[in-house]
Amino acid sequence: MFGSSEPGGFAVTNGALERPMVRIPMTGTWDRDTAGAFVETLFARHHGEIYAYLVRMLRDPELAADLTQDAFVKAYRAYDTLEKGENARAWLYQIAHRVALDDLRRRRIVRFLPFTGESKGSSPSAEHLAMDVRLSGPLERAMARIPERQRAALLLAEVHDLTGLELAAALGISHVAARALLTRARQSLREALADERAAEAAAEAERDATYAQGQESGR
């Protein structure tokens, strides 16, 4: 089904920024074989980075895998909406980004609580448990604290190396709005990092004080 591509169905070219890009001609109609070949190539190229992006956004590897799969299936179904000359990688990020935001929205609304055996009112929130377990460093904790769209912008620009235009396409906003969002994101990250570092320093000072107290009383 996806083992080969029709000649002329799509071509792999490099973009102006030497990024591998997948371009397809705008056919206006959905074709199963072309869609299959297209998404297969897209998967081969980008599934790792899409998965990584979703892991960073959602902080849940299992869920990220499910949503990566979902994103590629959506790409398969909608490949004919990709405009001629449009950057397929950015388009794919746009799909993944929407999938992630949909899930984050749903998780905000519906929150099952973990069953810890504790009685009513004493259960820690699922969010806190997830934070405690999965976010070890100040950077990740800070990233988790900033708004999701800002987090997405930072990840896409700095970790996934999207250009300004690609970032705008992935986020589904204008180039100007994407740059403004990224500027706000950098500022938010600075503040969140400062808070995290301060909290970490305070915790360390407390540990030191406790240790010193223990040493003192042991003498």
Q: Which of 13, 1, 155 is nearest to 76 (CA)?
A: 1
> In the set 7, 16, 112, 215, which binds another protein (CB under 8 A)?
112
> 10 Å Cβ neighbour count for 56?
20
The reply to whether 189 sits near another protein by the rule CB under 8 A is yes
> 10 Å Cβ neighbour count for 70?
17
Count of residues interacting with another protein (CB under 8 A): 77
Q: Looking at beta carbons, which pairs linking 203-206 to residues 24 or more positions away fall under 8 Å?
A: none
Site map (CB under 8 A) of another protein, residues 146-175, x = contact: --------xx-xxxxx-xx--x--------
| Contact between residue 197 and residue 189 where contact means Cβ atoms under 8 Å apart | no
The reply to whether 76 sits near another protein by the rule CB under 8 A is yes
**Residue owning tokens 């794919």:** 92
User: CB of 158: closest distance to another protein in angstroms?
Assistant: 4
Binding segment (CB under 8 A) for another protein, from list 128-136, 184-192, 199-207, 210-218: 184-192
Cα separation of 78 and 82, whole Å? 7
Binding segment (CB under 8 A) for another protein, from list 33-41, 128-136, 196-204, 210-218: 33-41
The reply to whether 201 sits near another protein by the rule CB under 8 A is no
